[in-house]
Structure 1
Amino acid sequence: MVSTTEFKGEYSLPSKNSPLDQFEGVKTHLYRIGAEHENGTLKSFAYADQGSPSLLDTIILSQWEDFAWKGHLGYDVTACNLKVIEGGFNFVVQLNEKWNSFLLKEYDQFLGPVRCLKPNCTNSYDGLLLCISQGDKDVPEVISSTKPPKDGLLLIANAYPVEYGHIFLFPSATNQLSFFWDKRMFSLIARIASEVNSAAFRVFFDNCTSTMPDRMFFQACYFANPLPVESASTVAIYDGKATSGVCLYEIIGYPMKALVFTGNDVNTLASFVSEVSLTLHDNNTAFSLLISNNGTKFFLFPQVKNLATGCCLSAWECGGYFIYCAKYDFDIASETEISNRMVAVALQDGAFENLKNLCCAVADDLAM
């Protein structure tokens, strides 16, 4: 359990099923991130000292805990059994008999399967925690608002969490894919991760290509320990510190092929990742993203669909964190079985080499 201080406020909504871009009249909190300084360098002004929780971290967890306290979660995820699989990768597995992966994959009715925006008996929507947008002041501010930010995000609690503090982050301005892939959205996500300023906070994104709906979103939650992929060895592919300001690494010795993008300039890093992501999407290549290290590190996991299941792995599974719904499967989970699941969706060597060449070309363009 992550301790937080209480943050009180109102966030009631009218009793109607509105699309995300039509939340006129919604009363909620709007968090405006402080203006960028130092050429886009990620820097948070939202905490008093290095050891204190940031303001945004406190608000998210306080609102999420309030959502849980009101009984809206399908289960207590903190009570689920966890274990580390013996072996070289230290995969983490969770036993959660009430969790169902299909709850996150059924998009026919927006958010219906996860019950995030269904009204309760008082016609309010407790799942909406707050909105976030870019501000123009030197320090962040929190205001009451009845109008969603034009170029911001809505933070909505997941009633079926994978881990503590599990939320959805939805672009509020439009349902067009072209906007979502805009580097400004990736930049805002990175700045949010920086503003949260917690090593436990991870952001995820899954692109399922042909099954991707018009409304796309990120997810985020808190992990007490580093994910296995974050401890994997890397080898440098592109070092552009003196030119583009971004670096690219390849994960080695891991069952799944993956790349790591790093950089301190949020805008350049966002441009790098969004350009590569858009190219993969246009080429109908499935992939997942894991964002860690306070928004300065992006893990990219390109995938092919498993021929046996027709499915891809989620971003947290790519990172080495798996959920089992049956105790028998949980008990017999092994490094070999998990590794085989990763290998089954990994790109072939030739396709992966092409992806690395693409990333280097994009990085070169950024340096021009």
Structure 2
Amino acid sequence: MEMKLTIKRVPTVLSNYQEEGGGGCGRNCLGDCCLPASKLPLYAFKADPKKPAQDDELPTEFFLNSLLLAQWEDRVARGLFRYDVTACETKPFDSAKFNFTKVGQEEVLFRFEKGGGDSSYFLENAPSTEGDHAPSVVAINVSPIEYGHVLLIPRVLDRLPQQIDPESFLLALHMAAEAASPYFRLGYNSLGAFATINHLHFQAYYLSVPFPVEKAPTKKIPLAKCALNSGVKVSKLTNFPVRGLVFERGNTLKDLADVVTNACIWLQENNVPFNVLISDSGRRIFVFPQCYAEKQALGEVSQDLLDTQVNPAVWEISGHIVLKRRTDFEEASEASAWRLLAEVSLSEERFEEVKACIFEATGLTESDEEEESSESPYASSSSVPRASSHMSEGCLVLQ
């Protein structure tokens, strides 16, 4: 009897307006019909996050706790989410289609823009027509997978496709820097790597434990001196089911953003699906080239893995896996997670080919020195910074 492969596609709903038809809105949305005349809260971040705080500087915890999470809780109270994510058990551009201009303004928390000065500031109401560029906004994900799950939508009215560019990626790093918490991460999924909407966006949320990938050991890739001008260090993951590169440090946030952006642009232009995790307040970035969708199309993924309906995107690859079936949750283990994620990874040979092309695209040159192994700062539990958790006693994160 011939066995046939079936792939079930489960729609992901990011906005309460996603399932509505196209056409005029008749409401406050993020489109050209409404946004230019609107007044939204504005958070303006300082130009250089490394500069010392000024006397009139907002408190360090303001962006994450007093603004983003407080506004997120307000939308919970207003009933805008499809379910209560804190009650879930946890183990660690075609304009005719939905795009984020159709999101209602009640789902927007605030605009996120560069302030230009040495201090960040917040305005309760700011005209959306300020400046000579389309506004960037932070909106709730109405189908959250964790507490504080939001979307960063760069230059929303420009209707950018889901492709990383230098300005937008630097904006994402600034958001991570403003949050100033190791437990607030941003993620990006490319087309072909389980991006659900072809309108440029990053996802972000707060989870008060380190991700497994953040604790994974790495091997530093020695760089030639001529390639060290940016101050960026590059490593590759070891003893982790998905092969990936780790970029960190940099003389400035822009130096780090430029190197990673050039890597992502090469992947985009060469049709290599990939995912990006922005970690450690924007100081550490993981890039994962992947091939799961390709294996699906070729019938190379076993049916029992497909039946889980888990699409391994950035959060899953990082080790935070949302399981949709009770049996999968009850039987979850490190071995089952490893088996799933191993299907995502490029082969060693293909990964080395992609790495060489990325190095050429970013202007990095590998030296002949021997690679150095190193542990993650989260490798031991004693080094993990402590933080309060919003999760109930019944929740469990698989690490």
Aligned residue in 2 for 1:36 = 48
Checking the alignment, whether the CA contact within 8 Å between 1:42 and 1:191 is kept in structure 2 is: no
1:69 aligns with 2:77: yes
The residue type equivalent to 2:46 in the other structure is G
Aligned residue in 2 for 1:27 = 39
- 2-side partners of 1:357 and 1:77: how far apart? 41
Aligned residue in 2 for 1:81 = 89
The residue type equivalent to 2:79 in the other structure is G
1:356 aligns with 2:355: yes
Checking the alignment, whether the CA contact within 8 Å between 1:127 and 1:157 is kept in structure 2 is: yes
Residues 283 and 359 of structure 1, relative CA distance in 2, 3 Å threshold: closer
The residue type equivalent to 2:152 in the other structure is L
Checking the alignment, whether the CA contact within 8 Å between 2:151 and 2:201 is kept in structure 1 is: yes
Counterpart mapping for 1:109-188 below 5 A:
109-110=98-99, 117-118=103-104, 125-143=105-123, 144-147=125-128, 150=133, 152-172=135-155, 173-177=157-161, 181-188=164-171
Aligned residue in 2 for 1:321 = 320
Checking the alignment, whether the CA contact within 8 Å between 2:266 and 2:358 is kept in structure 1 is: no
Residues 258 and 335 of structure 1, relative CA distance in 2, 3 Å threshold: same
Alpha-carbon displacement from aligned partner over 1:252-291 (angstroms, at most 9, x marks no partner): 0011111111124211111111111111111111111100
- 2-side partners of 1:323 and 1:175: how far apart? 29
Aligned residue in 1 for 2:337 = 338
Residues 42 and 82 of structure 1, relative CA distance in 2, 3 Å threshold: farther
Aligned residue in 2 for 1:257 = 243
Superposition deviation, residue 18 in structure 1: 4.4
**TM-score (norm: length of structure 2):** 0.72
Say which SS state the counterpart of residue 317 (structure 1) adopts: helix
Residues 319 and 366 of structure 1, relative CA distance in 2, 3 Å threshold: same
Residues 320 and 174 of structure 1, relative CA distance in 2, 3 Å threshold: same
Aligned residue in 1 for 2:219 = 235
Residues 111 and 244 of structure 1, relative CA distance in 2, 3 Å threshold: closer
Checking the alignment, whether the CA contact within 8 Å between 2:193 and 2:313 is kept in structure 1 is: no
The residue type equivalent to 2:283 in the other structure is T
Greater percentage in strand: 1
1:217 aligns with 2:171: no
The residue type equivalent to 2:282 in the other structure is G
Superposition deviation, residue 311 in structure 1: 8.4
1:275 aligns with 2:232: no
- 2-side partners of 1:363 and 1:274: how far apart? 9
Checking the alignment, whether the CA contact within 8 Å between 1:33 and 1:135 is kept in structure 2 is: yes
Q: What is the root-mean-square deviation of aligned Cα atoms in Å?
A: 3.0
Checking the alignment, whether the CA contact within 8 Å between 1:42 and 1:194 is kept in structure 2 is: no
Superposition deviation, residue 210 in structure 1: 9.3
- 1-side partners of 2:287 and 2:310: how far apart? 17
Checking the alignment, whether the CA contact within 8 Å between 1:24 and 1:147 is kept in structure 2 is: yes
- 2-side partners of 1:54 and 1:210: how far apart? 33
- 1-side partners of 2:290 and 2:364: how far apart? 25
Number of residue pairs matched by the alignment:
317
The gaps in structure 2 that reach 5 residues or longer are 1-24, 367-399
The residue type equivalent to 2:81 in the other structure is L
Say which SS state the counterpart of residue 345 (structure 1) adopts: coil
Alpha-carbon displacement from aligned partner over 1:166-210 (angstroms, at most 9, x marks no partner): 0011112512449x5331211111111111111210000000249
Divergent runs of 4+, >3 A = 41-48, 54-57, 209-214, 238-242, 308-312, 362-367
1:194 aligns with 2:174: no
Give aligned-pair identity as a percent.
26
- 2-side partners of 1:129 and 1:210: how far apart? 27
- 2-side partners of 1:190 and 1:63: how far apart? 21
- 1-side partners of 2:286 and 2:33: how far apart? 29
The residue type equivalent to 1:140 in the other structure is S
